[in-house]
Amino acid sequence: MKIKRKNEMKVTLFIMVFVMTFVVTFVSVSINYAFQPGFLMKWINSWGLAYIVALPVVMIIMPVIKKFLARHIID
């Protein structure tokens, strides 16, 4: 599967948010609940919610950050 250059940032953000929320929720749930019965469902529920919240936040914030950096970085 080939991805068009114009969609590269969006696909990158989807993957980054997937991986980051996956890892962070795993660590958080494992610290708070250990590996008790029901751990997997608690983790998957936490991950799903985190992904649903994080993806739109990143999609909105990333262009703002890029514009800010473009104005403040000197070559």
Q: What averages of pLDDT result for each successive group of 10 residues across the chain (75 residues)?
A: 84 91 94 90 94 93 90 83
Residues recorded for the chain = 75
13-24: pLDDT as tens digits: 899 999 999 999
How many domains does the chain fold into?
1
Segments forming the whole domain that contains residue 17: 5-72
Q: What is the pLDDT of residue 74?
A: 79
Structure tokens at 57: 């936040």
- pTM for this model (two decimals): 0.76
* CB < 8 Å & 24+ apart, contacts of 44-50: 47/21, 47/22, 50/21, 50/24, 50/25
**pLDDT of amino acid 58:** 92
pLDDT at 56 (0 to 100): 92
